[in-house]
Amino acid sequence: MQKYSVFSLIKNAFKGHKDWEVAWKDPTPKSEYDVIIIGGGGHGLATAYYLAKEHNITKVAIIEKGWIGGGNVGRNTTIIRSNYMHDENGLFSEFGMDLWRNMSQDLNFNVMFSPRGIINLAHSDAQMNVYSRRGNSMRLNGIDAVLLNREEVKKIIPMADFSENVRFPIFGGLMQPSAGTARHDAVAWGYARQADSMGVDIIQNCEVTGFDVSNGKILGIRTSKGDIKAKKIGLCVAGSTNILAEKLNMTLPIETHLLQACVSEPIKPILDNVVTFGAGHFYCSQSDKGEMVMGGDLDGYNSYAQRGNLPTLQHVLTEGIAMFPFLSKLKMLRTWGGIMDMSMDGSPIIDKTHIEGLYLNCGWCYGGFKATPASGWTFAHTIAQDRPHELNAGYNLNRFSTGHLIDEKGLGTKTWIS
Amino acid sequence: MLYIKCPHCGLRPQTEFSYGGDATVKRPELNKEISDQDWDNFVYLRKSPRGKHLELWQHISGCRQWIKVERDTLTHEIFTTLKANENI
């Protein structure tokens, strides 16, 4: 594989950029693989990469209905963080933070990881207490957390509304300085290019139409490009999980909901952190191009539409303007929507299933992008070793019937409630 | 904007309603031996189909009644709305 560097860039510039190798091939599917990963999004591509890199399993195919990186990895707000209270989420995400920090070097692809810090704003004394508890829990797990008072927050984001008579005054905030953002498409492309170079077949425009299951064992899949055999198959299809589960006669603790995001017109640099509103659900950062990147609540009812509804967007941006009044002066550039696999406790599932050889990776709710490397790494381990790694042991499928839920937000089963 | 025809009030915008989830799940009967699996099915497991979905909404800024709505989860087309005690 051609190595990307400043020297290769200069060399190819002199040749008019005509000699670059293709980043990944477009193979026709073979009749059999060791492992098939369904879903060519961030998690699927990362899983294939770590199967090859960590477990030396290279006879792998990624089956993608559309094009790689066309789903949620291309539709998110690029936020990366590990500011969780529960051990399962905190340790898992912090393991992922280490992978993020080295990702550009590891993949030889600039994913533009920018650890600019995230601030969760607090708007009451009670919320400050909750944040202090969460911050302490994070620090016990080795995650950086700083509790900021009102003056400290004002120094970092003076453009927020610090006036006296506001409905939700800023009392302070919880900051994770090592959190940040990354270039989302580059993550998909970087994993795809490396996986391809190690022998993984990336098969796009290929829809999975059915599964071949016999005596409780998975034997292969049926696709729009023919039948493909494999002893191990991993599902990594986010919002489409229930559609494939139905073909397997499985019912899962997952509902598919729609989440919107939007960007404003580009403006001069004003915000160099990620900031979240604490009295609702709104988060904001500024891209390198200068756009304000914003998101918030789900549309609030089951949806596979991949496009949003205006009442929700209006509601979310009202919160944004309450936090950053200057946003009201900006024009909206683009809005978009993606479909989320909302699990019933708000935490993901990375586990084996009752079908031998079938592995499940789903339930990422709002937080799939930041989990991309850790999800791929642990899912690859789960598939290769046929048992979960200790990092994803808590993300098992039977926790719902045993009651070992990981309910970070305390929302219960109605995770769509805003 | 969705427009939902409340069986009590007529056609109203979505912003008057709050969503209550899948209307097809059945709570296990009271005073009967209930297995963990039955509870699991009721509390957590959802079909979440792409297509027709029978769901509960509450007309929270109107008559405050719970209603059933049959809606397409891909196109958002609403086929029928029913009172909470009615079945398709």
Residue B32 falls within a domain, yes or no? no
Chain A: closest CA distance from residue B75 (Å): 6
In this model, does residue B28 exceed pLDDT 80?
A: yes
Residue B88 maps to a domain:
no
Question: Measured between CA atoms, how close is B61 to chain A, in angstroms?
Answer: 15
Contact A251 B41 (CB under 8 A): yes
* Closest chain B residue to the Cα of A345, Cα to Cα: B44
**pTM for the predicted model, two decimal places:** 0.96
Rounded to the nearest 10 degrees, the angle between the axes of helix A184-197 and helix A42-55 is 40
In the prediction, which pLDDT does A317 show? 97
Nearest to A146 by CA among A115, A116, A176: A176
A302, A401, A402 member nearest B48 (Cβ)? A302
Q: Is residue B27 part of a domain?
A: no
Q: What is the pLDDT of residue A412?
A: 76
Q: Which residue has the tokens 């409905």?
A: A167
Is the CB of B53 inside 8 Å of chain A's CB atoms? yes
* Closest Cα in chain B, distance from residue A278 (Å): 22
Query: CA angle, B26 as apex, B24 and B28 as ends, to 5°?
Result: 170
**B73 with A305: Cβ contact below 8 A:** yes
pLDDT of residue A144: 97
Q: Which residues from A are below 8 Å from B45, CB to CB?
A: 251-253, 400
> Nearest CA to CA, how far is B67 from chain A (Å)?
14
Shortest alpha-carbon distance between residue A301 and chain B (Å): 6
Mean pLDDT (whole number) for A65-77:
96
B76 Cβ contact partners less than 8 Å away, ≥ 6 residues apart: A303, A305, A309, B2
Q: Which residue has the tokens 């969460």?
A: A134
Chain B CA closest to residue A252: B45
Give B55's contacts in chain A (Cβ within 8 Å).
301-302
* A174 DSSP β-pair partners: A120, A147
- Nearest chain A residue to B16 by CA: give it: A311
pLDDT value at A416 more than 90: no
Return the DSSP state at A291: P
Tokens of A219: 């034997």
Q: Do B46 and A310 touch (CB under 8 A)?
A: no
Residue A309 with chain B: CB contacts under 8 Å:
1-2, 14, 76
Lookup: tokens for A139: 């620090």
**What's the pLDDT at B88?**
83
Number of C-beta neighbours around residue A188 at 10 A: 27
Q: Give B47's contacts in chain A (Cβ within 8 Å).
A: 242, 246, 251
B43 inside domain = yes
* Cβ atoms of A196 and A170 closer than 8 Å: no
Does A113 contact chain B (CB < 8 Å)?
A: no
* Strand arrangement of the beta sheet that strand B78-83 belongs to: B18-22, B52-58, B66-72, B78-83
| A80: confidence class by pLDDT, cuts 50, 70, 90 | very high
Q: Does the residue B75 lie in any domain?
A: yes
Asked whether the beta carbons of A123 and A171 are under 8 A apart, the reply is yes
User: What is d(CA B41, CA B49) in angstroms, rounded to the nearest whole number?
Assistant: 16
Domain range for B10:
3-22+39-83
CATH number at residue B65: 3.30.2270.10
Cβ distance B55 to A242 less than 8 Å, yes or no, reads no
- List all residues 6 or more positions away from A183 whose beta carbon is below 8 Å from its beta carbon: A78, A110, A111, A112
Whether B33 is in a domain gets the answer: no
A413/B44 Cβ within 8 A: yes
Q: Quick one: closest CA in A to B54, which residue? A: A302
Condensed to tens digits (0 to 9), the pLDDT of residues A349-383 reads: 999 999 999 999 999 998 999 999 999 999 999 99
Please report residues of B whose CB lies closer than 8 A to that of A302. Answer: 21-22, 48, 53, 55, 73
HSE, side-chain direction, 13 A CA sphere, residue A171: 17
CA distance, residue B38 to nearest chain A CA (Å) = 9
Confidence of residue A418 (pLDDT cuts 50, 70, 90): low
Determine, for residues B37 and A414 on separate chains, whether the beta-carbon distance falls below 8 Å: no
By mean pLDDT, which of A134-138, A191-195, B30-34, B66-70 is the weakest? B30-34
Put simply, the answer to whether A251 touches B36 (Cβ < 8 Å) is no
Residue B31 counted as domain residue: no
Residues 287-346 of A with CB under 8 A from B: 300-305, 309-311, 344
pLDDT tens-digit series, residues A170-195? 999 999 999 999 999 999 999 999 99
HSE-CB for A88 with a 13 A CA cutoff:
19
Write the secondary structure of A322-389 as one string of H (helix), E (strand) and C (coil): HHCHHHHHCCEEEEEEEEEEEECCCCCEEEECCCECEEEEECCCCCCCCCHHHHHHHHHHHHHHCCCC
- Asked if A400 has any chain B CB less than 8 Å from its own CB, the reply is yes
Q: How many CB atoms lie within 10 A of CB A8?
A: 13
Structure ipTM = 0.95
Residue B30 lies in a domain: no
In this model, does residue A233 exceed pLDDT 90?
A: yes
When the pLDDT of each residue in chain A is averaged and rounded to a whole number, the result is 96
Average pLDDT over every residue of A72-78? 95
Question: Which of B14, B36, B73 is the closest to A302 by Cβ?
Answer: B73
CB atoms within 10 A of CB A85: 18
Number of structural domains, chain B? 1
Cα(A409)–Cα(A123) distance, integer angstroms: 17
Give pLDDT, residue B11: 98
The percentage of residues in chain B with a pLDDT greater than 70, rounded to a whole number, is 100
Phi-psi region of B23 (alpha: psi -120 to 50; beta: other; left: phi over 0): alpha
- β-pair type (B66-72, B52-58): antiparallel
